[in-house]
Amino acid sequence: MKLKTLPRPRQDAGWGGAIATVVGGLVILFGMPMVTGTFGLLQVTVFAALAIFALAQGFIWGFGGILCFGQSAFLGLGGYAYAIGAMNMTDTTGAVALAVIVPMIFAAGLGYFMFYGRISDAYIGVITLTVTIILFNLINSTSGDIYHIGAAPLGGFNGIPSVPPLNIPGNPDDQLDPTGLWYCAMGALILCYILLKWVLATRFGRVVVAIRENETRAQLLGYDPRLFKLLTFVIGAGISGVAGCLYTNWGAFISPTVFSLTMSAQVIIYVLVGGLGTLIGPILGAVAIQYLITLAGGQHVIDPNLMLGIVLVAFVLLVPQGVAPVIRGSVRRLMPSRSVATPAQAEVSQGASQ
Amino acid sequence: MSVPLLEARNVTMRFGGVAAVQDVNLVLGEVELRCLIGPNGAGKSTFFKILTGQLKPTEGVVLFRGQDITGSHPHVIARLGVGIKTQVPNVFNGLTVREGIGIAAGRKKSLRRARQIVEETMELLQLTAIADRMVGQLAHGQRQWVEIASVLAQEPDLILLDEPAAGMTHEEVLRTADLIREINKKQALVVVEHDMQFIRMIGKTVTVFNRGKILIENQVDAVLADPGVRDVYLGKQAH
C-alpha cells in the first residue's frame, strides 16, 4: 500500500508505454503456444516477421523522415542472403548474420548516393521504388543451373525451395520446430522494438528526430543531416533483413515476390494504419492488416486487394494519424482524472493503516 | 594586425542576371557588434546565407579567423563557431522547448554540461516556464526566443541575428536589446534589423546595404544622420 503514495517520476510517462509494450509482448510470446496449435503458431510467426518489417519502415519514415517506397528490397536481400548462406553452411548462425549485414551494406551504398547526392525526398521515393523493381527483375531472370551461388541455385521466378531452418547456434543438428521458430520470431520482434526504443532515446536518436523536424536548423547547429539519414536508413535495412530471414524460415522458401511492389506497398499501409511516428503503431498495423488479408483469403465475396485498398482509403480519410496515436490520446485524456484520484487514495490508505 | 574574426572579400552573388550581393567587403573583429541595415531586397539575408554556407557566392571569399569557408557545408561552418537566427524562424516544431535547445547544446559535449547549458539559456531568455511546451504551439515572439536560445546554446563565437526584434512588442524589443548587449560581452554579433530605434539602442558600427552593395559604414549616429542613408532607407519623403 505504501508504494502507491510515492509520486511517480515524470519520465515514467514516456517509458510506461514502452514497458507495457514489452510486457505485453512477453505475455504473447509465452502465452501463444498455450492457446493455439501448430497451424495457429505458423500464422502468428509470419505476423511477427512482418511486424519487424513494419517496425523498420516505421523507424526510417516516422522518425527519420525518409520515405522509402522500396523497403522490400532489404526484406528480400535479407531473405535471399539467409537462404543462400544456409544452403552453403552447415550451421545457419552465419546465414543469420549475412541476412542482417548484406541489406545493411547495400543500404549504405544506395543511401550514400541518395543522401550525399542531395537528392530531394520525392526522388528518394522514386529511386528506392526503382531499386526494388530492378532486384525483382534481376532475381526473376536467374532460372537455370548456371545461376547459383555455391551450393544454392537462385531458381529465378521459382525461388529457392527447402531452405534449411534455423538451428541452435553451434549445433547444426538441433533445428527449430514451428514452436521454436515462433519464440525466435516473437523474441526478435521484442528485441527490435527495444533496440529502436533505445536508439531513439540516445543523443543520436534525438538528432534524427530533430532533422525530421527541421533539417536546415539541425545543419545550422552543426549536425550533418546526410550522415544521420544514412545511418537511419542502414539501421532500417538491417532490421528489414532480420524480418527477411524470419520470413524465409517461415515457409522454408523464398521467391522474387518478396521484392514485389505489393510488399513495399503493404509495409507503407501497415505504418499508415498503425500510426506514423510511433513504434507500436507499425506493429499493430502489420498484425491487423495481415489478419484481414488472411480472413479475406478464406472467402470469395470481396477481392482481398480491393479490401486492402478500401481500408487504406478509409484510414487516410478518417483516421489519418493512425490507430496508435488515437489510442495514446484517449489514454492521456484519462490520465489527469487518475492523478487527481491518487492523493485521495493515498489519504484513504494511510487513514486505514492508522 | 591580428586576424579578424570574419572577413568577406569582394563577395558577389548572382541569381541569373540579378546581383543580390555585389562586391561586398566586410571585416569584423573578435567580440564586435555590427548592425546591418538596408531596405528590403538589399541583400542582407542573402549575405547571411553566404556566411553560413547555405549559398555559395558567385565570386569572392569568406574567411573565418583566416580560414577559407567559402561554400563550405553549413554544418562545417556551424562547428567552427558560427550560429544564426534566420529571418523566418527555423525551429524544431515537433519537439519541446527543452528538447530543441538540448539538440543545440548537445553536440560534442557531456550530458551534464549540455543540461547545464540548456537550463542556463532557458533561464536567461525566460523560457523555463514553457520548457515542456511544443515549439510548434508557441506564439511567434516565443518561437523567436526559442530560436535565439538554441543559437546561444550552441555557444558560437559569432552570432548572426536576422531581424531578431521582428514582430515583438515594445517590451520584448527592450529585452532583446539588453540581451544583445549582454551577449556582446563575450561573443561577436552581426544584427540585421529594420527598427531604427532598436539600432540606436544597441548600435555601435552600422553597415548600410543598398541594392546588394555597401552604401556606407560608420558609427550609428553618423549613419543615421547621413542624408544618403535617409534617401535609400526611409524614402525621400522622410525629410
- pLDDT tens digits, one per residue of A224-253: 999 999 999 999 999 999 999 999 999 999
- The pLDDT of residue A6 is 34
> Is A299's Cβ below 8 Å from some Cβ in B?
no
Minimum mean pLDDT range among A1-5, B100-104, B168-172: A1-5
Mean pLDDT of A76-87: 95
Q: How distant is the Cα of B232 from the closest Cα of chain A, in angstroms?
A: 32
Q: Strands, E, within B38-166: which ranges?
A: 59-64, 67-68, 82-85, 158-162
- The amino acid at residue B94 is G
> Is A223's Cβ below 8 Å from some Cβ in B?
yes
Q: Strands, E, within B48-204: which ranges?
A: 59-64, 67-68, 82-85, 158-162, 188-192
Minimum mean pLDDT range among A73-87, A232-246, B19-33, B165-179: B165-179
Residue A28 forms part of a structural domain: no
Residue A163 near residue A254, CB atoms below 8 Å: yes
Q: What is the pLDDT of residues A287-309, one digit of tens each?
A: 999 998 888 877 777 887 888 88
Q: What is the domain count for chain B? A: 1
- The amino acid at residue A120 is S
Mean pLDDT of A129-153: 91
- The pLDDT of residue B29 is 93
- The pLDDT of residue A146 is 87
Residue A196 near residue A279, CB atoms below 8 Å: yes
Q: Which of A210, A219, A225 is closest, CB to CB, to B92?
A: A210
CA distance A234 to A60: 9
Of the candidates A228, A200, A206, A271, the one whose C-alpha atom is nearest the C-alpha of residue A52 is A271
Measured from the Cβ of residue B55, the count of other Cβ atoms closer than 10 Å reads 18
* ipTM for this prediction: 0.92
Mean pLDDT of B104-130: 92
Residue B149 forms part of a structural domain: yes
State the CATH number of the domain containing residue B85: 3.40.50.300
CA distance A267 to A117: 26
- The pLDDT of residue A342 is 38
* Contact residues on chain B for A116, CB-CB shorter than 8 A: none
pLDDT band at B234 (very low <50, low <70, confident <90, very high): low
CA distance A125 to A103: 18
Residue B149 pLDDT > 60, yes or no? yes
- The pLDDT of residue B128 is 93
- The pLDDT of residue A215 is 94
Residue B50 pLDDT > 50, yes or no? yes
* B33-37 and B205-210 strand pairing: parallel
Mean pLDDT of A273-292: 93
Mean pLDDT of B3-12: 94
- The pLDDT of residue B223 is 87
Residue A65 forms part of a structural domain: yes
- The pLDDT of residue A353 is 37
- The pLDDT of residue B236 is 54
- The pLDDT of residue A348 is 37
Residue B1 forms part of a structural domain: no
Residue B131 near residue B122, CB atoms below 8 Å: yes
Contact A217 B52 (CB under 8 A): no
Residue A164 near residue A89, CB atoms below 8 Å: no
Mean pLDDT of B153-164: 94
- The pLDDT of residue B235 is 61
Residue A334 forms part of a structural domain: yes
> Is A220's Cβ below 8 Å from some Cβ in B?
yes
* Contact residues on chain B for A325, CB-CB shorter than 8 A: none
What mean pLDDT, rounded, does chain A reach? Answer: 87
Residue B32 pLDDT > 90, yes or no? yes
CA distance A80 to A244: 8
Cell numbers standing for residue A246: 524470419
CA distance A240 to A82: 12
Cell numbers standing for residue B70: 567559402
* B158-162 and B188-192 strand pairing: parallel
Cell numbers standing for residue B181: 548587449
Contact B93 A223 (CB under 8 A): no
Residue B19 forms part of a structural domain: yes
Q: How distant is the Cα of A190 from the closest Cα of chain B, in angstroms?
A: 27
- The pLDDT of residue A329 is 83
Contact B100 A206 (CB under 8 A): no
* Contact residues on chain B for A223, CB-CB shorter than 8 A: 75, 103, 107
Residue A267 pLDDT > 90, yes or no? yes
Q: How distant is the alpha carbon of residue B143 from its chain centre?
A: 16
- The DSSP annotation for B97-112 comes to HHHHHHHHH-TTS-HH
Q: Residue B36 has what DSSP assignment?
A: E
User: Across the strands, what pairs with B63?
Assistant: B7, B68
Mean pLDDT of A89-114: 95
Place of cell 543451373: A145
What mean pLDDT, rounded, does chain B reach? Answer: 90
As a 3-state breakdown, chain B gives helix, strand, coil percent values, each rounded to 5, of 40, 25, 35
The residues, ordered by sequence, that sit 6+ positions from B131 with a Cβ below 8 Å of its Cβ are B96, B97, B98, B122
Q: Which of A213, A222, A223 is closest, CB to CB, to B93?
A: A213
Give percent above pLDDT 90 in chain B: 64
Minimal-distance CA residue of chain B relative to A208? B103
Residue B214 forms part of a structural domain: yes
- The pLDDT of residue A335 is 66
* Contact residues on chain A for B73, CB-CB shorter than 8 A: 219, 224
Residue B158 forms part of a structural domain: yes
The residues, ordered by sequence, that sit 6+ positions from A66 with a Cβ below 8 Å of its Cβ are A60, A121, A124, A229, A232, A233, A236
pLDDT band at A354 (very low <50, low <70, confident <90, very high): very low
- The contacts found for A26-33 with CB under 8 angstroms, 24 or more apart, are A26/A190, A28/A186, A29/A183, A29/A186, A29/A187, A29/A190, A32/A182, A32/A186, A33/A179, A33/A182, A33/A183
Mutation target vs A (from B54, B55, B75, B112; most A CBs, 10 A cutoff): B75
Residue A36 pLDDT > 80, yes or no? yes
Residue B59 near residue B98, CB atoms below 8 Å: no
Residue A95 forms part of a structural domain: yes
Q: Diameter of chain B by CA atoms?
A: 57
Q: Which of A206, A214, A224 is closest, CB to CB, to B75?
A: A224
Q: What is the domain count for chain A? A: 1
Residue A32 forms part of a structural domain: no
> Collapsing DSSP states into helix, strand and coil, what is residue A172?
strand
Q: Which domain holds residue B49?
A: 6-238
> Is A118's Cβ below 8 Å from some Cβ in B?
no
Q: Which of B92, B106, B107 is closest, CB to CB, to A214?
A: B92
The highest-confidence range among A17-21, A128-132, A318-322, B229-233, by mean pLDDT, is A128-132
Residue B134 forms part of a structural domain: yes
Mutation target vs B (from A204, A211, A212, A221; most B CBs, 10 A cutoff): A221
CA distance A194 to A21: 10
Residue B21 near residue B210, CB atoms below 8 Å: no
Contact A222 B95 (CB under 8 A): no
Q: What is the pTM of this model?
A: 0.89
Residue A31 forms part of a structural domain: no
The residues, ordered by sequence, that sit 6+ positions from B23 with a Cβ below 8 Å of its Cβ are B10, B11, B12, B60, B213
Q: Which domain holds residue A256?
A: 40-344
Residue A193 pLDDT > 70, yes or no? yes
Mean pLDDT of B112-134: 93
> Is A219's Cβ below 8 Å from some Cβ in B?
yes
Residue A341 pLDDT > 50, yes or no? no
CA distance A217 to A206: 14
Mean pLDDT of A64-69: 93
pLDDT band at A336 (very low <50, low <70, confident <90, very high): low
Q: Please list, residue by residue across A203-224, b when 16 or more beta carbons sit within 10 angstroms of its beta carbon and e when fewer do.
A: eebbbbbbbbbbbebbbbbbbb
Mean pLDDT of A101-120: 95
CA distance B77 to B60: 17
Q: Which of A206, A220, A224 is closest, CB to CB, to B99?
A: A206
